[in-house]
Structure 1
Amino acid sequence: MVRIATLLAGLLIVCGVVAPPVSANPPGALTFGGLQRTYVLHVPPGLDHPAGLVISLHGAGQTGTDQAALTSFNAIADQRGFVVAYPDGIDFSWADGRGASVPDRDGVDDVGFLATLIDNLTRDYAIPPGRVFVTGMSAGAFMANRLACDRADLIAAIAPVAGTLGTGVPCNPSRPVSVMQIHGTADPVVPFDGGPMVGRGGPSDIVSASALADRWRAIDGCPAPVENANGEAHLFTASGCAGGTQVVFVRIDGSGHTWPSGSFSLPDSMVGPTSHAFNASAASGQFFASR
């Protein structure tokens, strides 16, 4: 299983989504921690009063441009009035605390970088207070969770897809955060049941998807969740949590290491099937808009 996961992670590097530029806005850059950091920014045409800022984090071996193409989130941003930024990780990955990436091992401060990016964009685009949201795929989902754990003062809600937290990564947010957590039960790269995994940057031990949902409900002081199903998509929704937050755990039976209803370029034999019973971009956009 370790050899298979290693092969899958390597294939993700060489077979990343190839797409034309997805935004008319020029790429952005800022210097943080002595490093030049870059991002792709999409601002809906004619947008005068943004409804919020979304930070969308790519998976290992990919880029912000790849993440935009995978998720088609620009269309959601246009519908909802969101400014959306797709940052680029160092060495195509993130320092999410597991020690399983080059930036983690090199001491890159991605929490600080993303916090600075959020500060800059909220100022430049007059983002209303309390309207910053973060999503991400795979390694980007691990980073989204870590950012919410460390900088809840900046973030109202997150929607991680196919990623949890390292077992040794602390999570003590300064305030409640709304969460929509999405994970397929047939994920061959980031196992739904947690435990050991081997990604592009090396091995790590991770929290299971169900255990992470339990943790977020405990952090937010939520009541027991209510289950609703639509085919293979099962939504466990806990509302009335502290500070008006909500935790939604989306378990997609039989879905692989993909973005549900997204445009993934690898065959099912490598990453498992992509579910179309649930649209992760539309659902996360609606979730953010309702906060």
Structure 2
Amino acid sequence: MTDFCAETNPITTGLYNIESEGRTREFYVKVPTDYANSPEPKPLLFAYHGTGGSYELWLDGSYDLADEVGDGAIMVFLQATQDHNEINQWDYAFDLQYFEDVLNRLRRGIEFDAKRIFVTGHSSGGGMAHDLGCNYGDIVRAIAPHAAILKSFVCTGSVAVLQTHGSNDTLVNPGTGEAGHQFWVAYNGFDYDTTITGVHPTCIDHSLGASPYPVQWCLHAEGSGEAAHDWPSFASAATWEFFSGLPTAEPTTEPPAGGGNSAIQYDTMVMFTLEFPPGIGQITQGAISIYPAGTQQPLGGGPISIINQSFDPGEVGPGSVKNYELPIKYVNETFPGTYAFSVIIYVADGGNPIPFPGKDHIVLRDIYVNDRNTPIAISTPLVMEPIFF
């Protein structure tokens, strides 16, 4: 199966521009040297760099994935836009559409196997891989996020998942990666406690090798501190072995057998009231996280875990006060214990998934959690304030 409509200007190896969401965007395509003589269409592999990076990192060996893939796939290296601080950063407000627009351009310019569309990425680029797999599971065959956070939690279709995360990562806490791990295990219909070894000794495979939509989790101990956030030494080999070893599967809007959105179970509910300041921008989305007890602004790092990846704030604006009752799912927390409960509110001209200082808003409140299943009620209002690091 292919999605291909030849045009007079076919795609070859090189840098391309397209218009997407009113912006001129770039992407680089690496076409296999044997493309013209290949008896079968090649897979399509999208790769997303991390915050502050560029597509060139996939070309200069900073990410060594291209060496591992060789002529095995058509590789597409995406380019983030600059945020308010002129730092290259992905933003879900327009980068999901960017994926669609690049894919449509490729369909008009090069032949590929539409049953084998893969997405990988590092850090915030890995977050893009997560969310593309969730939102486009009827198009994307498999994803491989590295040191990344899943933000979406209502998904479409079926997708195979390989995740890697550093156990010593201080930039993106492994607990936030574990939240995505637990989500995909449930969504793809597996038992969390039943595993075999995956594509690398650090990886566990929940599918037991018996599903076209496996979920593998690779918690490694490479590096320490910020260095533990780097692209792992085994990531490229593991990613390509995972992608290239998957069986053929027709794209589908249906979830894997035994899984789907209905398989996602939450631990309890949290009730709270938010007060929105007069100067807040256009409110778009919220998330709930857990930080160590006593955490205050400026934030020195990411949360321990995200216990509600995304919620709709509803009809609110500057000066609004609104009550919420929302589901939450803990990750690695121990009970009883005290944690800094955090609500982040994203605004239209801020950043998402990484909040932008001075625009997106946050509130932090220490709470005592007795156990995993008792509902939490925060009686005094939570006053949102601009986030800063």
- Give the TM-score, by structure 1 length: 0.70
Alignment check: 8 A CA contact 1:176 1:242 kept = no
Distance of 2:226 and 2:156 partners within structure 1: 39
The alignment covers a number of residue pairs equal to 225
Alignment check: 8 A CA contact 1:28 1:38 kept = yes
Asked if residue 39 in structure 1 is aligned to residue 24 in structure 2, the reply is no
Equivalent residue number for residue 177 of structure 1: 159
Alignment check: 8 A CA contact 2:195 2:206 kept = yes
Asked if residue 287 in structure 1 is aligned to residue 242 in structure 2, the reply is yes
Distance of 2:34 and 2:65 partners within structure 1: 17
Alignment check: 8 A CA contact 1:223 1:240 kept = no
* Higher share in strand: 2
- Tell me the amino acid that sits aligned with residue 73 of structure 1: L
Equivalent residue number for residue 73 of structure 1: 65
Residue 189 of structure 1 deviates from its aligned partner by 0.8
Distance of 1:109 and 1:160 partners within structure 2: 19
Alpha carbons of structure 1 residues 241 and 217: separation in structure 2 relative to 1, 3 Å: farther
Which 4+ residue blocks in structure 1 deviate beyond 4 angstroms? 240-243, 273-276
Alignment check: 8 A CA contact 1:44 1:77 kept = no
Distance of 1:28 and 1:57 partners within structure 2: 16
Distance of 1:230 and 1:88 partners within structure 2: 28
Distance of 1:122 and 1:88 partners within structure 2: 19
**Larger gyration radius, structure 1 or structure 2:** 2
Asked if residue 56 in structure 1 is aligned to residue 47 in structure 2, the reply is yes
Secondary structure class of the residue paired with 1:27: strand
Alignment of 1:261-272 (within 5 A): 270-272=226-228
Alignment check: 8 A CA contact 1:221 1:241 kept = no
Alignment of 1:1-291 (within 5 A): 25-48=13-36, 49=38, 50-68=41-59, 69-79=61-71, 81-91=72-82, 92-96=88-92, 108-165=93-150, 169-193=151-175, 208-224=176-192, 225-228=194-197, 234-239=202-207, 244-256=212-224, 270-272=226-228, 279-291=234-246
Residue 51 of structure 1 deviates from its aligned partner by 2.6
CA offsets, 1:188-228, max 9 Å, x none? 211112xxxxxxxxxxxxxx222211110111112444243
Q: Cα RMSD over matched residues?
A: 2.6
Alignment check: 8 A CA contact 1:54 1:84 kept = yes
Residue 125 of structure 1 deviates from its aligned partner by 2.1
Residue 32 of structure 1 deviates from its aligned partner by 0.9
Alpha carbons of structure 1 residues 211 and 37: separation in structure 2 relative to 1, 3 Å: same
Share of identical aligned residues, percent? 23
Alpha carbons of structure 1 residues 219 and 55: separation in structure 2 relative to 1, 3 Å: same
Structure 2: runs of 5 or more not aligned: 1-11, 83-87, 247-389
CA offsets, 1:137-173, max 9 Å, x none? 00101111111111112200000001112xxx33222
Alpha carbons of structure 1 residues 175 and 279: separation in structure 2 relative to 1, 3 Å: same
CA offsets, 1:101-153, max 9 Å, x none? xxxxxxx4110111221232244221112210000000101111111111112
- Tell me the amino acid that sits aligned with residue 220 of structure 1: N
- Tell me the amino acid that sits aligned with residue 228 of structure 1: T
* Higher share in helix: 1
Alpha carbons of structure 1 residues 273 and 121: separation in structure 2 relative to 1, 3 Å: closer
Alignment check: 8 A CA contact 1:25 1:41 kept = yes
